[in-house]
């Protein structure tokens, strides 16, 4: 893959981000402390305002800080987010390279229905034109993770049916700080990270170098590689001139480059082959390879006009290019100009007795005849994305008597685009080796889509005695267009919507508080949506309590109910029976659930402390009408059918022991079955992903003031389960693995 360089305008964005920053005490000198306090007040990288703000927030939000992220040092975002309630994960490759994340029942398919941000900036490759998150920032370079749901997410968009996730990078340290972090583990796992930052007078900076990868845990029939490598280089430059033109200001420039080279596939197994060898990969995936490059440029400016009036401006530009050469099926019949596919691989793997020759070809056990029905379709899904914009956020605090207001106003202008070029080659299986058939099969997909979007929001947080009220409204105006070069057709899709939300929090006692809220949910239809396709809209309710006891017991219990006016389904390249980007109406759907988050520390303050953390989510769902859809995850839907790939139970229990120089944690993770297609039959009678329980262990020893040693064991019991039947066939979770780590800080 060759990265195409071309100039692209930095357009303008305006989002809604809560302000406040994550400053850490890096220095002991009074001057360094003073500067750090100033910077932490100005550098806006969190959207919740931090843990203190969350405690009285009239909405659901959680924050994982650096201390929590260090406990297991996961490099997989899926494992990090599994510690929180209301989050649903559908595993795919076992390493979290392309996560499938859902919030409060929204589809987890390639995280397309959530708002995903880095430092408060939209970070998906093209969040409006093509919202599937094929790029995800590496969690190893993050300082904090925030998850915002319900009315609390009204300031984030465009997707707020389930909520938003923000990944916050490291703040610039007030004095010299850095580390060298080295890890090695089973299956050739390696991770190397170098971080260094400092401040000299008004100027501060850091640079972060990260490389990690693995040989892969799957075993290809041809003995070829199944692993991956990722490189990530990023830097932050900061200028804090004190008072410039009479106002305190902060300028921050962040630049980054990341790439990936992985031997990843969509191809899974039959159930029988999974039971025999769950880590097997068929010979027909021997040519599968994913390559990508990501570049980012983010400029942030904060200015304090007075003690109660602040303004933050973010200008951003992202470029992402990927090439995924992978098995996509059987050729079928020649296509001019549209592709007419052969037997879907998903049918071969779920009904192997009906297609013995095709299964034998996938395994490399049967040679292909030189006919389209037995010719393997290997398509290079080549895509290029751009996104850019500018966003402004103004904060104004006002107090009158017992009433205190925190007004926020934000505006974002955003542009993004995608070019798809999916070129197909045919291969014959010959003695376990794939040989090109020499036929020019042409393009399966060749199109362009782009979007201009304007988002504006107003939000007020009102404090009165023991009450906190939130009221906000968001307006989205979205203009999209797409061009299909194979059919020489153009389409346009213009959407405008007003999205209100309100909430209240009552501090009933110093320990106990109650919250309630309601907001409109929205997920836009894409540029290629037909005239009859509606955006996804819902009314979301939440209600619950927070308890913080003097004995170190903290509990959050929240119920949620989402009433969908229309559920939106979106076809991906791996779906059979629909066109890439095609969208479908699912009609009215109801989703309800309960989230529980609790932590307690036994013998707090003693020489040994025993922290306990519990996260649990219960969810149920039902379509409210009957219909037949060509969207493969729905099919023939009957009123009352449950949504696919939405587990009823998700739970995580973590227990630990902490001492002055060491700590250890044991985590038990559970996820119940998930049906592969909408239905309401007993789950054991339909195709489904299996329930599974994994146990993780991590032990850390701070051997000296600058040295940290850590040993981590993932999936100690080596649990093997079918975690998904998509895209093609049974997919395994990651097997037992061990990681050893040494970190030197300076």
Give dist(CA 725, CA 283) in Å, integer. 19
Q: What percent of the chain has pLDDT over 90?
A: 83
* More confidently predicted of 340 and 144: 144
pLDDT of residue 412: 98
**329 Cβ contact partners less than 8 Å away, ≥ 6 residues apart:** 341, 342, 343, 344, 345, 376, 377, 576
Task: Count Cβ atoms below 10 Å from residue 33 Cβ, excluding itself.
Answer: 15
Domain of 96, in residue numbers:
30-745
Mean pLDDT confidence for 17-38: 41
Mean pLDDT confidence for 226-231: 98
pLDDT of residue 207: 98
Residue 389, burial from CB neighbour count under 10 angstroms (0-12, 13-18, 19+):
buried
**Using an 8 Å Cβ cutoff, are 46 and 166 in contact?**
yes
Q: Average per-residue pLDDT in the chain? A: 91
646-675 pLDDT, tens per residue?
999 999 999 999 999 999 999 999 999 999
pLDDT of residue 341: 64
* CB under 8 A, 24+ apart: contacts of 331-338: 331/372, 331/373, 331/375, 331/376, 331/377, 331/424, 331/426, 331/441, 332/372, 332/373, 332/377, 333/372, 334/372, 334/441, 335/441, 335/442, 335/444, 336/442, 337/442, 337/486, 337/487, 338/486, 338/487
Nearest to 520 by CA among 449, 472, 552: 472
* More confidently predicted of 583 and 278: 278
Mean pLDDT confidence for 42-58: 78
* More confidently predicted of 14 and 387: 387
pLDDT of residue 153: 86
Token pair for 540 = 């979301």
Instruction: Check which CATH number belongs to the domain holding 421 and give it.
Output: 2.40.170.20
pLDDT of residue 20: 30
Nearest to 189 by CA among 75, 285, 267, 265: 75
Which of 57-71, 327-341, 495-509 has the least mean pLDDT? 327-341
* More confidently predicted of 448 and 582: 448
**Using an 8 Å Cβ cutoff, are 547 and 600 in contact?**
no
Count Cβ neighbours within 10 Å for each residue of 165-196 and write b for 16 or more, e otherwise: bbbbbbbbbbbebbeebebebbbebebebebb
Mean pLDDT confidence for 48-54: 81
User: In angstroms, how far is CA 702 from the centroid of its own chain?
Assistant: 32
Residue 401 has pLDDT above 50, yes or no: yes
- Beta bridge partner(s), residue 379: 326, 424
Residue 708 has pLDDT above 60, yes or no: yes
Residue recorded with tokens 């779906």: 575
Whether 4 is in a domain gets the answer: no
Whether 313 is in a domain gets the answer: yes
- Beta bridge partner(s), residue 425: 378
pLDDT of residue 41: 54
Residue 1 has pLDDT above 50, yes or no: no
pLDDT of residue 193: 98
Whether 713 is in a domain gets the answer: yes
Domain count, the chain: 1
* More confidently predicted of 58 and 84: 84
608-631 pLDDT, tens per residue?
999 999 999 999 999 999 999 888
pLDDT of residue 374: 94
Whether 537 is in a domain gets the answer: yes
723-740 pLDDT, tens per residue?
999 989 999 999 999 999
Give dist(CA 379, CA 424) in Å, integer. 4
Q: Assign 43 a pLDDT band (cuts: 50, 70, 90).
A: low
Q: What percent of the chain has pLDDT over 70?
A: 92
User: Phi then psi for 376, rounded to 5 degrees?
Assistant: -75, 130
Mean pLDDT confidence for 683-700: 97
Which of 171-185, 329-343, 450-464 has the least mean pLDDT? 329-343
pLDDT of residue 37: 55
Residue 322 has pLDDT above 50, yes or no: yes
Find the length of the chain. Answer: 746
516-566 pLDDT, tens per residue?
999 999 999 888 777 788 899 999 999 999 999 877 899 999 999 999 999
419-439 pLDDT, tens per residue?
999 999 999 999 999 999 999
Mean pLDDT confidence for 201-206: 96
Residue 409, burial from CB neighbour count under 10 angstroms (0-12, 13-18, 19+):
middle
Whether 270 is in a domain gets the answer: yes
Give dist(CA 97, CA 264) in Å, integer. 9
Mean pLDDT confidence for 240-261: 94
C-alpha pair distances (Å), 198 with each of 46, 174, 237, 242 = 21, 6, 10, 17
Task: Of 34-38, 317-321, 333-337, give the range with the top mean pLDDT.
Answer: 317-321
- Provide the terminal-to-terminal Cα distance of the chain, rounded to the nearest Å: 39
Token pair for 78 = 């899926």
pLDDT of residue 40: 58
pLDDT of residue 33: 57
Nearest to 453 by CA among 124, 104, 153: 124
Mean pLDDT confidence for 135-162: 92
Which of 33-47, 149-163, 507-521, 542-556 has the least mean pLDDT? 33-47
Whether 1 is in a domain gets the answer: no
Whether 2 is in a domain gets the answer: no
SS3 state of residue 320: strand
C-alpha pair distances (Å), 395 with each of 18, 42, 309, 382 = 9, 12, 6, 42
182 membership: H or E segment, kind and range: strand 177-185
Give dist(CA 414, CA 426) in Å, integer. 40
Mean pLDDT confidence for 345-353: 95
Whether 6 is in a domain gets the answer: no
């Amino acid at each position: 893959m060759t990265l195409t360089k071309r100039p692209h305008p930095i357009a303008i964005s305006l989002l809604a981000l809560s302000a406040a920053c994550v400053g850490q005490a890096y220095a002991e000198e009074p001057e360094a402390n003073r500067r750090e306090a100033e910077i932490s007040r100005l550098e806006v990288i969190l959207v919740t305002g931090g843990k203190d703000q969350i405690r009285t927030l009239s909405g659901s939000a959680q924050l994982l800080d650096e201390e929590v992220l260090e406990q297991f040092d996961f490099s997989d975002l899926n494992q990090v987010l599994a510690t929180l309630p209301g989050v649903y994960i559908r595993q795919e490759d076992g390493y979290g390279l392309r996560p499938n994340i859902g919030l409060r029942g929204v589809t987890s398919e390639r995280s397309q229905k959530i708002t995903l941000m880095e430092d408060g900036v939209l970070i998906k490759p093209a969040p409006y034109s093509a919202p599937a998150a094929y790029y995800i920032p590496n969690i190893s370079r993050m300082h904090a993770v925030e998850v915002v749901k319900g009315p609390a997410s009204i300031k984030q968009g465009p997707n707020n049916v389930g909520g938003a996730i923000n990944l916050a990078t490291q703040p610039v340290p007030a004095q010299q700080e850095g580390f060298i972090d080295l890890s090695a583990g089973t299956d050739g796992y390696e991770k190397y990270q170098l971080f260094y930052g400092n401040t000299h007078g008004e100027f501060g900076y850091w640079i972060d170098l990260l490389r990690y990868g693995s040989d892969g845990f799957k075993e290809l029939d041809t003995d070829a590689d199944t692993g991956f490598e990722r490189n990530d280089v990023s830097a932050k430059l900061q200028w804090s001139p004190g008072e410039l033109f009479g106002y305190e200001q902060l300028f921050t420039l962040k630049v980054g480059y990341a790439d990936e080279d992985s031997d990843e596939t969509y191809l899974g197994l039959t159930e029988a082959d999974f039971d025999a060898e769950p880590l097997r990969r068929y010979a027909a995936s021997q040519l599968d390879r994913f390559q990508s490059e990501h570049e980012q440029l983010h400029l942030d400016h904060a200015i304090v006009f007075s003690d109660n009036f602040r303004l933050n401006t973010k200008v951003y530009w992202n470029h992402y290019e990927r090439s995924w050469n992978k098995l996509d099926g059987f050729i079928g019949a020649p296509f001019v100009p549209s592709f007419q596919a052969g037997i879907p691989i998903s049918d071969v793997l779920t009904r192997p007795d009906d297609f013995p020759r095709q299964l034998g070809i996938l395994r490399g056990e049967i040679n292909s005849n030189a006919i389209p029905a037995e010719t393997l379709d290997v398509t290079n899904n080549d895509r290029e994305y751009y996104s850019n914009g500018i966003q402004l956020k103004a904060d104004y605090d006002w107090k009158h008597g017992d009433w205190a207001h925190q007004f926020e106003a934000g505006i974002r202008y955003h542009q993004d685009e995608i070019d798809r070029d999916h070129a197909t080659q045919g291969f014959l299986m010959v003695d376990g080796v794939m040989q090109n058939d020499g036929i020019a099969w042409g393009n399966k997909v060749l199109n362009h889509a782009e979007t201009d979007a304007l988002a504006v929001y107003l939000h007020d947080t009102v404090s009165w005695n023991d009450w906190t009220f939130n009221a906000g409204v968001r307006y989205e105006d979205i203009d999209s267009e797409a061009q299909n070069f194979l059919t020489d057709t153009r389409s346009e899709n213009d959407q405008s919507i007003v999205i209100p939300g309100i909430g209240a929090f009552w501090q009933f006692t110093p320990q106990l508080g109650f919250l309630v809220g309601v907001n409109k949910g929205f997920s836009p239809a894409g540029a290629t949506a037909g005239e009859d396709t509606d955006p996804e809209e819902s009314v979301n309710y939440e209600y619950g309590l927070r308890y913080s006891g003097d004995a170190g017991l903290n509990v959050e219990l929240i119920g949620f109910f989402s009433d969908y006016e229309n559920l939106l389904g979106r076809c991906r390249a791996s779906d059979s029976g629909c066109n890439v980007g095609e969208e479908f109406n699912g009609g009215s759907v109801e989703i309800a659930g309960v989230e529980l988050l609790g932590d307690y520390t036994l013998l707090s303050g003693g020489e040994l402390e025993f922290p306990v953390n519990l996260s649990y989510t219960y969810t149920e769902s039902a379509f409210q009408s009957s219909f037949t859809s060509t969207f493969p995850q729905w099919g023939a839907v009957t009123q009352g059918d449950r949504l696919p790939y939405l587990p009823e139970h998700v739970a995580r229990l973590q227990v630990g022991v902490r001492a002055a120089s060491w700590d250890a944690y044991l985590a038990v993770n559970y996820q119940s079955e998930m049906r592969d297609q909408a239905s309401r039959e007993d789950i054991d009678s339909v195709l489904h992903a299996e329930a599974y329980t994994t146990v993780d262990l991590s032990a850390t020893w701070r051997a000296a003031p600058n040295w940290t040693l850590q040993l981590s064991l993932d999936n100690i019991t080596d649990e093997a389960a079918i975690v998904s039947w998509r895209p093609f066939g049974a997919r395994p979770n990651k097997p037992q693995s061990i990681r050893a780590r040494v970190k030197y800080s300076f």
